[in-house]
Structure 1
Amino acid sequence: MLVQRSAWVMMGVLLAAPMVLSAQTDGVHLRWDAQAFGNHRYLVKVSAAERAVAVTLPWRRRDVHPEQVAVIVTGPDGKVVGNVLRGVIDQAQGQLVFEASQPGTYAIYYQPYVSNGRSNYPTVTYAKPAETADAGWARKVGKRWDKLPKAEVLRYEAVDDFDAYTLMERTATPQELQALLAKHANQAMLLFPETRDNSVRMFDAIPERWAQRGAGGAFSDTALRGEYLSFQVGVWAPERALSNVTATFTALKGPSDAEIPAQALTSFNLGGVDFTGKPFTTRVDVAKGRVQPLWMGVDVPADAHPGVYRGEVTIAAEGVPAQVVPISVTVGDGQAVAHGDDDPFKLTRLRWLNSTLAQDDTLVKPFTAITADKGTLGILGRQITLGANGLPAQMATRFDERMTGFNKQWQPMLASPMAIVVQDASGKHALNASTGALPKVVQDGPGKVHWQSEGQAGALRSELTGTLEADGTLTLAVTLTATQAATLDDIRLELRPRNDIARYQLGLGRQGELAPASYDWKWDVQKNQDGAWIGTVNAGLEFHLRDENYQRPLNTNFYHQQPLRMPTSWSNGGQGGIRLRAGQGSYAIDAFSGARSMKAGESLHYDIVMRVTPFKTIDPSKHFAERFFHKYADLDAIKADGANVVNIHHATPINPWINYPFLEAKAMREYVDAAHQRGIKVKIYDTVREVSDRAPELPMLESLGHEVISAGKGGGFSWLQEHLDGDYIAAWHVPENRDAAVINAGQSRWHNYYIEGLDWLARNEGIDGLYLDDVAYDRTTMKRVRKVLQAHRAEPFIDLHSASQYNPRDGYINSVLLYMELMPYIDRLWFGEEFDYEKTSANYWLTEISGIPYGLMGEMLQHDGNPWRGMLFGMTNRLGWSEGSDPRPLWKAWDAFGISQAQMIGWWVHDTPVRTDRKDVLVTSYVRKGKSTLLSIASWAPEKVGVKLDIDWKQLGLDPRKVKLNAHAIDAFQPEASFAPGAAIPVEPGKGWLITVEPAG
């Protein structure tokens, strides 16, 4: 086991004799092959060889239909016993008769399973009962099993500590339930206080310990000063459903008039603070027969006087008498470190769920404070000018085409002001302001402003709230209300970017390419599509159409299990869509919603989220200096290979569990410290797309319904099926360490936990950043991620990997569009698995893979990429990821040339200094003016071609009469060669050259 402490102690699984898992072997192996026998067994002792022995296993199972699952008996020799008969098999017990041909210890495995499917997405099914007994032997056994010799039950065992059923998973028997209910006749709500050491794990049954202990009673526990103490009250509805369960706390009274105020106590299931920082409440109903744990917490003050603190929590439900649970907390003399958070198993971190850390409107690098001047809002390299109606009248950019700096002059992006148009029988009515004055811009902080405007469009009254953030995100919440009954032909958005801006387009079912002359798109829930990006390298516009019910869909294989909510306004029952049309003076984008009728007073929300790109400049010198080793490995070997940034995946010794990097803290700290001593940065894999079953908080998260854990059909790896309630989506599984995960909801308080967790990691582990693998959170959380890491690191480093999401299971969403909202806060891209580097165009590479139009650079992954085409964008593969991914020869060539001192001028720049005489063979120049230039040449030509170079020697600062063109030998890339200026250079299809233009002699 990789966990630092015994899971038996931490998860409360020590069972009363004879059920304790023991290190004794009794002639059988303590560990066994779970794939052959399952995860659970009983050991029974047979004193003498017998034709048949009987045994009753008191297994108290939580699976609902144990009679439908096979049982396997093995003898002292480990061989399977064929002669086995089954008696009464239910949740309480299992009656068996088996042949005992020799004395000794027999093992009875009672949940054997078969695992199929992909190893990382297993499909586990439980073996069905089968008749294996010989008919003659069965006849001799007869039906009087009570007369047979009895095998002695020794104990229960699990394949490992983590798989073992806990005390909270041993179900009460029907007789125990009957006795409990008799004591509480006509009581609709039974309460069971429980400490944090015994997380409630069953929601359709109560555990043996509750039935034997009885309902009611007090909660009592101990805590240190400054510790956050979590606890539970289990609510059981045995007779009928409970509606609107509530919890109310009193203050906890301590010694010498000391007090812990009621405000220091929290009930997590009943509400909290959401991932955007807004308070919320949750209605809790309990269905008949179900158990609902109410997780609670008390924040013990750091200066609390030692002693006993007493108070109450009152639990109530509609139409049910309220019940009081006394609370007693003994505060010790000791002082908790960081509220106790350094030990995840204490569950003090539950308070992180309601954290507002980094929930503010401050800035992160490189963004600058928003300026406002007479309706013109200034952000880094961009401007948005508002009209009186609150919509953008103009947008402009100063980013240069090289993406490394800014032009002196502003480049306008719109040919005409953005408009919302209502069309009816009387004509077109553009949204106009009630007054001609510009809306007042209110500064929320250096990183955010907002404004409001009221207006009219035909028979509709408008209320608009706009926000702009320093990264370039513009949100327009537009409410249109009918002042009278209205029949409308259309409500639409008209957006008119200039033709020189509308060069490329992606989204709406199109991959990155030149903007189409004409294109039509309609809403479809099977597609994760609600917007697009259109633009050129240094000026672009992303837009998304939403309403008040928007919720981020699931991604990465799970889109169809939580798809896009069709916006009532824009989609209009499938009538809505988007038209793209190239025009003479502008490019027309019309987002229409079609004909509809509105009642007087009826409102529709036409929300628009836009982002002005690029977000920031690129820094090729820094990019080429930061070299990745994408694998956990020996640090001296990593340094010797020339890498200086290491990405630590999950399923590694210092980060074993997916998206829960807290259980090997000491080992991680030692590795990070050792890396820093060698000048190597360390980034770890940690997202919230899914969470490992090893997270101690998982049972509590399950108690929140589907706030954190997504609804699903269950299944997956055996641990999930045996220890969760069945309503989840099974996610990634690592067979090597039996780590299984479930999919998290796209937006939840687990994001708050994640932010606090990153803060803890930065403070305690010294990590330099994150490796994000297809994340599930939105920009609200991404901003907080950046702020938290920036608070601890001068230059935090975040990179994002994505597999191509443009496929049916992911709803044909472009990865770059899916994650564009995160890109302002990311440093590098790695796009990625299933990206096609061979059959796609240079335009696709530029817009969908490179990240350059958005202010990022990256690397390649699928089949180790195409190194020749990659160099046009400064991209290689990553060292360490696979046997073929070896960028070291290119790194060596970079250093020999001095690429970190060069200016990168891409093939897309209108005045690029070097071109070829073919449009399908492109050149990016790395210029060290007056010294030498490295030419990256790559071909999209279908056959071998000879190309001539058209060189602007003045830009290179070189004399064409005094230069030589040399292709230095690079392993697995190119042979050594020399070319005369003006001579044809042979280029193989899909390949290219790195040619150094340098002064002769």
Structure 2
Amino acid sequence: MRQFVSFLALIVFLLTGNTHSRAQNIAYQNGNNGWDPDSLGNHRFVILLTADQFKVNRQVARVSIPWRRSDKDPGKKRIIVVSEKNNTLVQNILPLHINAEKGELLFEPLHGAGKYFVYYLPYKNEGRSNYPKGVYLKPVTTTGSWQSTASAATKPAMASVTAYQSIDAFNSFYPMSFIATAAETARLKSMAKNKAYIVFPEDRMFPIKMQDNIPYRWAQKGIQTSFSGKVDKGEWYSYQLGIWAQINLQKVQVQFSDLKSATGQLIRSSNMSCLNTDGTNYKAEPLTKQVDVPAGFIQPLWCMVQVPQNISAGVYNGTATITVAGQAATTIRIQLQVSNNTATEGGIGQPEKQTRLHWLNSTLAQENTVIAPYTPLQVTDTTISLLGRKLLIAKDGFPAQVQSFFTPEMTSIGKEAYNLLAEPMHFHFTAGKQKINWQQQGLQFTNRQPGTVSWHATSTAPNLNMQVNGSLEFDGFLNYQVKLTALEDITLSDINFHIPVAPQHAKYVMGLGLKGGNRPDSVLWKWDVANKNQDGAWLGDVNIGLQFSLRDEHYVRPLNTNFYLQKPLLLPTSWGNSNKGGIDIFKKGSSVLVNAYSGERNMKKGEVLYYNFTLLLTPFHPLNTQQQWADRYYHRYKEIDTIKAAGATVVNIHHANAINPWINYPFIEWKKMKAYIDEAHQKGLKVKIYNTVRELSNKAYETFPLRSLGHEIYSPGKGGGFSWLQEHVKDDYIAAWFVPEIKDAAIINSGMSRWHNYYVEGMNWLTQKVGIDGIYLDDVAFDRTTMKRIKRVLTQNNKPGIIDLHSANQYNKSDGFNNSANLYMEHFPYINRLWFGEYFDYEKNNPDFYLTEVSGIPFGLMGEMLEGGGNPWRGMIYGITNRLPWSANADPRPIWKVWDDFGIQQTDMIGYWSPNCPVKTNNDKVLATVYKKNGTALISIASWAAEDTEVQLQINWEALGINAANAVIEAPAVANFQPARTFTPGDKIPVQKNKGWLLVLKNK
């Protein structure tokens, strides 16, 4: 919370010193960045030594500082004294009494009378600059003759405290992080007359920060039984009720009355809610939270009021009643003074007033309407048709067949059906060596909507019942809930789920510890959720395939991007079976079989297990090559004219710059952002911004309201990190990305939560109010439900809604050894472009890795390269370059010029993976992709040969519509790529190791 107004007002109040000091008036001031916080810390007290006092003792001065600290172990942290004169460090200091309430010390007054500064939380940052470990300096003991002099001083010069200063307003402890003294706290308790809890109403501009200390502000005010606030008509207003527990409290709730004016007008209680106890989750389901408060702790309750627009100005009175299980209720009188002004958009343009807290309960864009380019689902008998695919359902409710109509080139949808399955998916249950036979009770469709089709099937066996609920969404997402109930005690030797895939369509695999690429002969995998973010894989070919993920009813999305180990997957009770389960993939008969097994187990009568799983039917849509050729990205905040002159058409605004400074909180400098976007639109450019859910800037106005929700929004953790987090958030969080230049310190989000509702509302506001054309996602921590909502708000009213997704290599210990493409595949239906490749090796990885993990082509996407600019020769056979101006060594503009000179936007892309590719080489380590149009072709060749080689082109002249007798092959000059050169058909073309050519094939 940023206390600008109250902080800068320099409110003065009386603090009592010890017996050696008189009462002191202390001003609370903004230090205006007047010192170096990285060497001195963020906080200091200004002390004054008068000439009269200096005459008393010229060698030893004494000061008592009533600093009211909330940090732990203040005696174990260094104190630094600096003389204002020449900013000189005072070497000789001797702490006497250091505790949370005050600090008494002796120091040598180097420059006599005047101002001295006492810094009391100096720190240093250790470790990686973007993930710092803030370490507070330990005390330094003064030794030598001065210490003897100081220790013997019976009448030191007494300095007085005049002001507290923080490095800036944002770092201030005033007013909510200065603690009440033990005596003040005891006095409050005595005033409460042994109540089980005390309620402190508090204004929205002073978020409650401390959990285990009463703020001095409350000690000043005493116990209040009423609250008054000022509000505009139509405003989303909020206030706090701080519950200070004297004993353990359970089931804390708030009940609101209507607020009534003197004329009888009402602000109804139905317009009021408590953020901490009730709301709506990210799935649009009602959310009720039990609030318990341990003895000695403080729990803020954030109360929200939606003030109607059509009421009259005036004073409205009512109550908020706090109830606690087994304790007497407490009623607080609430008075709102409604002005004659009407808040614009409910006041959400002023988020510093906490006017956006209701966004946390938003249901915006939850309807499952079909999103372009997808088409409504169609049901014919037991077949469901969707864009480019069909799903045939068997009587037991499981997929009998998956068909794809995408052409091998992936640029269109054809009429030929490709069948994925060698036989229907099915379960095998065995007891001993005996296979259990099931009787199917029939398939019943329960919902037929354009966006979702659902069905139910029941199967029975002598001792078991299996209820299958399946649903298919318009993008190809299948969700299965498989409920297995034991009708009698039974011992099962194994439960197996089989996905039999036609071998010709099981060419590639990704997941289960395998990098994306050619499928090995066998895969043997076991559950290891403590270390591996693995619960499924993708198996398929370019134009047909599926991803499967095995889950149960307790599935919770884990953390990702360096933090998997701090919140890993939950081992499914069913599939995992105490780590007895696993997955094998191998050739069996006429199929490549995915065998998911769970091992031996006993089930008691009435016991229930859920063998849930999800499927994604790939590809999702045809390649949009036109967008790939037309949208040329510039990934940096720069002047619009500079970007336009570079030939880019889309600007990606990262964070940590003038118009989007704070990570994943693009709401503070939105006016600057809008001005920039308006200029870009005038000059024909689109602008996308960095904004994702994974971590959240500490500059978010809602930081402490979100903290009041426990672990709902922020993940639990060990704390630490940058000094601001340690000093204000204290503990129980995970410190995330940090930008040293602007000191933006982020906190890790917990996963799926109501923050996703806020995120959707925020994206809607940015689209409508600021005019963004889309977003750049740098990894994500939300699921496909939120992604669909985001796509809806970004594309409403014919907005372009462009989304590109970046991911670093997730295959490492911190990320749980997952693959970026496998991890984020559920989002691919709504992504326009991939930017995978940070920490990828473009030189050593094979073509199958490029195809599956980098290009996006098997999923209907295209991408760009990243690490070191990528390999431009290899990239071009997938239609991808790198991104301006990311790598100085790999400028994509020379290739863009080839695109434009040739007219690539009018071509058909036919990749090397297609059996219809009209150009091949005589070396299977040198691949060719063709961009074909009107009797000419641009041929991209790239080498994976172990050394320099020569190749000859094998050309299907008829397919290209070119006369072989009159053909010429020209290599245009491309800077840093290739020299100009002319070949004739049949020539041997030299190809350097790891490189290639761009060749124009045409008639003379």
Q: Is the CA contact (8 Å cut-off) linking 1:42 and 1:107 kept in structure 2? A: yes
* Counterpart residue number, 1:470: 474
2:386 matches 1:379: yes
Q: Is the CA contact (8 Å cut-off) linking 2:12 and 2:28 kept in structure 1? A: no
Range that drifts further, 328-337 or 423-432: 423-432
Which of 345, 348, 359 pairs up with 2:352? 345
Q: CA deviation at 1:172?
A: 0.2
**Deviation string, structure 1 residues 47-69 (Cα, Å, up to 9, x no partner):** 23521111111111110221111
**Deviation string, structure 1 residues 415-446 (Cα, Å, up to 9, x no partner):** 11110121113622355422xx3322412x32
Q: From the superposition, tell whether residues 340 and 480 of structure 1 become closer, same or farther in structure 2 (CA, over 3 Å).
A: same
Which of 747, 752, 755 pairs up with 2:752? 747
Q: Is the CA contact (8 Å cut-off) linking 1:53 and 1:100 kept in structure 2? A: yes
2:84 matches 1:81: no
Q: What is the distance in 1 between the residues matched to 2:322 and 2:468?
A: 43
The correspondence of residues 164-203 of structure 1 with structure 2, limited to 5 A, is 164-203=172-211
* SS of aligned partner of 1:809: coil
Q: Is the CA contact (8 Å cut-off) linking 2:451 and 2:474 kept in structure 1? A: yes
The correspondence of residues 95-114 of structure 1 with structure 2, limited to 5 A, is 95-102=104-111, 103-114=113-124
Q: Is the CA contact (8 Å cut-off) linking 2:10 and 2:29 kept in structure 1? A: no
* Counterpart residue number, 2:805: 800
* SS of aligned partner of 2:456: strand
* Counterpart residue number, 1:8: 4
Range that drifts further, 890-899 or 251-260: 251-260
User: Where does the alignment leave 5 or more consecutive residues of structure 2 unmatched?
Assistant: 14-24
* SS of aligned partner of 2:637: coil
Which of 955, 973, 977 pairs up with 2:981? 977
* SS of aligned partner of 1:500: helix
Q: What is the distance in 1 between the residues matched to 2:201 and 2:526?
A: 54
Q: Is the CA contact (8 Å cut-off) linking 1:762 and 1:792 kept in structure 2? A: no
Aligned length: 985
The correspondence of residues 751-900 of structure 1 with structure 2, limited to 5 A, is 751-900=756-905
Q: CA deviation at 1:97?
A: 0.9
Q: What is the distance in 2 between the residues matched to 1:385 and 1:769?
A: 36
Which of 12, 34, 37 pairs up with 2:37? 34
Q: What is the distance in 1 between the residues matched to 2:146 and 2:432?
A: 89
Q: What is the distance in 2 between the residues matched to 1:405 and 1:255?
A: 69
Q: Is the CA contact (8 Å cut-off) linking 1:375 and 1:439 kept in structure 2? A: no
* Counterpart residue number, 1:237: 245
2:267 matches 1:260: yes
2:502 matches 1:498: yes
* Counterpart residue number, 1:94: 103
Q: What is the distance in 2 between the residues matched to 1:459 and 1:15?
A: 75
The correspondence of residues 943-958 of structure 1 with structure 2, limited to 5 A, is 943-958=947-962
Q: What is the distance in 2 between the residues matched to 1:508 and 1:705?
A: 34
* SS of aligned partner of 1:119: coil
2:994 matches 1:990: yes
* SS of aligned partner of 1:971: coil
The correspondence of residues 901-980 of structure 1 with structure 2, limited to 5 A, is 901-930=906-935, 932-980=936-984
* Counterpart residue number, 1:389: 396
Q: From the superposition, tell whether residues 117 and 432 of structure 1 become closer, same or farther in structure 2 (CA, over 3 Å).
A: farther
* Counterpart residue number, 1:223: 231
* Counterpart residue number, 1:484: 488
2:412 matches 1:405: yes
Which of 145, 148, 152 pairs up with 1:136? 145
* Counterpart residue number, 2:638: 633
* SS of aligned partner of 1:816: helix
Q: For residue 36 of structure 2, what is the amino acid of its counterpart?
A: D
Q: What is the distance in 2 between the residues matched to 1:964 and 1:458?
A: 74
* Counterpart residue number, 1:59: 67
Q: CA deviation at 1:820?
A: 0.2
Q: For residue 58 of structure 1, what is the amino acid of its counterpart?
A: P
Q: What is the distance in 2 between the residues matched to 1:361 and 1:104?
A: 70
Which of 319, 330, 333 pairs up with 1:323? 330
* Counterpart residue number, 1:596: 601
**Deviation string, structure 1 residues 437-488 (Cα, Å, up to 9, x no partner):** 3322412x32112111221245220111111100000000001000000000
Q: What is the distance in 1 between the residues matched to 2:621 and 2:2?
A: 48
Q: CA deviation at 1:179?
A: 1.1
Q: What is the distance in 2 between the residues matched to 1:362 and 1:517?
A: 42
Q: CA deviation at 1:6?
A: 7.5
Q: What is the distance in 2 between the residues matched to 1:361 and 1:666?
A: 33
2:513 matches 1:513: no
Q: For residue 160 of structure 1, what is the amino acid of its counterpart?
A: D
* SS of aligned partner of 2:916: coil
Q: For residue 177 of structure 1, what is the amino acid of its counterpart?
A: T
User: Where does the alignment leave 5 or more consecutive residues of structure 1 unmatched?
Assistant: none
Q: Is the CA contact (8 Å cut-off) linking 1:203 and 1:725 kept in structure 2? A: no
* Counterpart residue number, 2:258: 251
Q: CA deviation at 1:826?
A: 0.7
* Counterpart residue number, 1:714: 719
Q: For residue 500 of structure 2, what is the amino acid of its counterpart?
A: R
Range that drifts further, 812-821 or 976-985: 976-985
Q: What is the distance in 2 between the residues matched to 1:995 and 1:524?
A: 49
Q: For residue 8 of structure 1, what is the amino acid of its counterpart?
A: F
* SS of aligned partner of 1:795: coil
Q: Is the CA contact (8 Å cut-off) linking 1:13 and 1:165 kept in structure 2? A: no
Q: CA deviation at 1:515?
A: 1.6
Q: What is the distance in 2 between the residues matched to 1:185 and 1:912?
A: 86
CA-based RMSD: 1.5
Q: What is the distance in 1 between the residues matched to 2:322 and 2:153?
A: 51
Q: Is the CA contact (8 Å cut-off) linking 1:396 and 1:413 kept in structure 2? A: yes
Q: For residue 790 of structure 1, what is the amino acid of its counterpart?
A: T
Q: What is the distance in 2 between the residues matched to 1:20 and 1:790?
A: 51
* Counterpart residue number, 1:116: 126
Q: CA deviation at 1:745?
A: 1.0
Q: What is the distance in 1 between the residues matched to 2:436 and 2:618?
A: 30
Q: CA deviation at 1:185?
A: 3.1
Range that drifts further, 101-110 or 821-830: 101-110
* SS of aligned partner of 1:571: coil
Q: What is the distance in 2 between the residues matched to 1:457 and 1:609?
A: 24
Q: CA deviation at 1:143?
A: 5.5
Q: What is the distance in 2 between the residues matched to 1:10 and 1:357?
A: 35
Q: Is the CA contact (8 Å cut-off) linking 1:180 and 1:214 kept in structure 2? A: yes
Q: Is the CA contact (8 Å cut-off) linking 1:419 and 1:430 kept in structure 2? A: no
Q: Is the CA contact (8 Å cut-off) linking 2:910 and 2:916 kept in structure 1? A: no
Q: For residue 53 of structure 1, what is the amino acid of its counterpart?
A: A
**Deviation string, structure 1 residues 315-357 (Cα, Å, up to 9, x no partner):** 1212221111111111111111111001110111000000000
Q: What is the distance in 1 between the residues matched to 2:254 and 2:730?
A: 24
Q: Is the CA contact (8 Å cut-off) linking 1:270 and 1:282 kept in structure 2? A: yes
Q: From the superposition, tell whether residues 11 and 887 of structure 1 become closer, same or farther in structure 2 (CA, over 3 Å).
A: farther
Q: Is the CA contact (8 Å cut-off) linking 2:96 and 2:103 kept in structure 1? A: yes
Q: What is the distance in 1 between the residues matched to 2:7 and 2:956?
A: 71
Q: CA deviation at 1:144?
A: 5.9
2:160 matches 1:152: yes
Range that drifts further, 135-144 or 83-92: 135-144
Which of 425, 429, 436 pairs up with 2:432? 425
Range that drifts further, 168-177 or 133-142: 133-142
Range that drifts further, 451-460 or 401-410: 451-460
Q: What is the distance in 2 between the residues matched to 1:831 and 1:261?
A: 51
Q: From the superposition, tell whether residues 512 and 30 of structure 1 become closer, same or farther in structure 2 (CA, over 3 Å).
A: closer
* SS of aligned partner of 2:81: strand
Q: What is the distance in 2 between the residues matched to 1:544 and 1:30?
A: 52
Q: For residue 664 of structure 1, what is the amino acid of its counterpart?
A: E
Q: What is the distance in 1 between the residues matched to 2:462 and 2:129?
A: 60
Q: For residue 81 of structure 1, what is the amino acid of its counterpart?
A: V
Which of 29, 50, 61 pairs up with 1:47? 50
Q: For residue 163 of structure 1, what is the amino acid of its counterpart?
A: N
Q: Is the CA contact (8 Å cut-off) linking 1:190 and 1:216 kept in structure 2? A: no
For normalisation by structure 1, the TM-score amounts to: 0.97
Q: CA deviation at 1:78?
A: 1.2
